Amino acid sequence: MPEHTERGLVPAAALDETGAAIRIGTGGRLTLSGAVPDAADWFAWAAGRLHGLRVEPVHGEADVAVRTGADLSEFASVAPATGVDPRPEPGADERHRLEVAQGRALVSSAGAEGAFRGLTSLVQTLSVDADGNVWAPEGVLVDGPRYTWRSLSLDVVRHYFTPDEVRRVIDLMALYKFNVLHLHLTDSEGWRLESRAWPELTRPGPDGVREYYTREEFAGLVAHAARCHVTVVPEVDLPGHTRWAFDAYPELAGGVEYPHPRLRYLHPDSEPARRFAGDVIAEFAEAAPGPFLHLGGDEPFGMGHEDYVEFVRLAHRLVREEGKRAVGWQETARAGALGADDVLQYWIGAPDEFDPEAIKRTVPEEFHPLVEQAAETFRISPGDVPAATEKGVPVLLSPNSRLYLDRPYADGCADPAQEGDRGRLGLPAYPPITVEESFAWDPAEAAREAAPGTVVAGVEAAVWGETVTGFGDLAFLLLPRLPGVAEKAWTQQRTGWADHRARLNGHESLWEALGFANHFRPAT
């Protein structure tokens, strides 16, 4: 048999009874039958991009056949997913069966979304030899997700990524069965979604370059994501992280006196600030058809507690008036506004407690009072998840200790040329950890540690752009860690690092085919 590359499946399947690969196609081509048009188009694109294959739709017998409408009893060995369903049309069952036997592959599912996930498993594990023969592991996979919410938060503010670059990220997410892209679109450094009500928010930068998404471009991203069964959740971060908005519209202060010129936030006593919140929340709600809108709410540095509570409750009410359910960073639990239909995002994970004395040593003395104000918000953070859990609010797990992918790598580099990237990428305040250490956690355990009885909405990784200068930097921070996050969110049984690392062998070529050539290459 000519030599060909075999790679493991990531995330790991619930039931995997596959063995050595067998041939399912020849001449660098596969025939496909039974898939709905979007899934057929995606499979053809992915097989072509990842493996150089031609996929030809046919009627009747095919190398790859898709059968939807299967009875759910066929997947009874896999438990239904738990968590909060983030999709515009909730309830679709993602469980599926992939059988490779007698020279063909058969994907069975209850509906289109399960079939899409089964085709994803197949396209990951395909290989092509030098003669154009197409191979897939013989046997049976039965699979389905652990959680219904599996997501990545992408910061497009600190570094702007073009629509084409965001589409590349969506393609990578689809390959690893993520189903939510949380776009962090506003912050003190910029505003990335075109605003009709407040047009100066998306003014050109100092060099005259446009670095925001028009409404049409954003709609294109939402549509591309939907074809990959990924739901876009946009975030408008309020009431803090708004320096860019204040620079564009100083009148947002509304006569409010702030404790320091560098501390500005939307105050509930400011009529322009309240009007601004209503306008931008309406614009963001209109931009994406999913059921959720992220209202931010993190790091309200310098803001009085009662003022913060009042503003978060206002923002929550505005989100609900737009027909959306709210997601808020964990600090929003302090406002008591979120309910059982909303989601709290837990992010302040041990051992990364805020160290004010260390930070004071790195900043001028005039900023020390600001550091103390920031320290207070972190000091009380252990009470956030318990407060939400007591109210029955589901919790999206994003502990920065494991799931913030802008954390420096502790591993050495197999490629010495990457040592410079390793030294400059990742937030310096975070202690570096190895890729293995980033894998060493379990969602259920993390939820219990945050608060007994917590209902897990799902799992979300986050990558922030303070140190990012281009798409290659993003590739370096995301990979190889993002597939590990996918495994925690999707795979129902607990898997070990050695097994996960072994299944990742051969995935580097997939990343490079998708445009992530600068993925980190750890020494071990």
Q: Residue 32 corresponds to which tokens in the numbers above? A: 């496909």
Q: Residue 46 corresponds to which tokens in the numbers above? A: 């992915």
| Kind plus residue range of the DSSP H or E element containing 113 | helix 112-125
Q: Residue 29 corresponds to which tokens in the numbers above? A: 């081509």
SS3 409: strand
Closest by Cα among 340, 461, 484 to 401: 461
| Kind plus residue range of the DSSP H or E element containing 104 | strand 104-109
Q: Which DSSP string corresponds to 420-488?
A: HHHHHSS-TTSPPB-HHHHH---HHHHHHHH-TTPPEEEEEEEE--TT--SHHHHHHHHTTHHHHHHHH
Annotated catalytic residues are: 299
Beta-bridged to residue 104, according to DSSP, are: 101
Q: Could you identify the residue written with the tokens 């407690």?
A: 353
Alpha-carbon span 191 to 361, nearest angstrom: 31
User: Measuring CA to CA, how many Å separate 372 from each of 303, 352, 357, 505?
Assistant: 12, 17, 9, 46
SS3 184: strand
Widest CA span in the chain:
78
CB–CB of 78/492 below 8 Å? yes
CB–CB of 511/475 below 8 Å? yes
Q: Measured in Å, how far apart are the chain's first and last C-alpha atoms?
A: 31
User: Is the N-terminal amide bond of 480 cis, ω within 30° of 0?
Assistant: yes
Angle at 50 (CA atoms; ends 44, 506), nearest 5 degrees: 140
CB–CB of 240/301 below 8 Å? yes
User: Measuring CA to CA, how many Å separate 254 from each of 266, 316, 366, 475?
Assistant: 9, 21, 26, 42
Beta-bridged to residue 193, according to DSSP, are: 213
Residues 6+ apart with CB under 8 A from 357: none
Alpha-carbon span 389 to 376, nearest angstrom: 22
Q: Could you identify the residue written with the tokens 């499946």?
A: 9
Alpha-carbon span 360 to 358, nearest angstrom: 5
Beta-bridged to residue 18, according to DSSP, are: 139
Closest by Cα among 212, 233, 200, 206 to 163: 212
| Kind plus residue range of the DSSP H or E element containing 108 | strand 104-109
CB–CB of 177/145 below 8 Å? yes
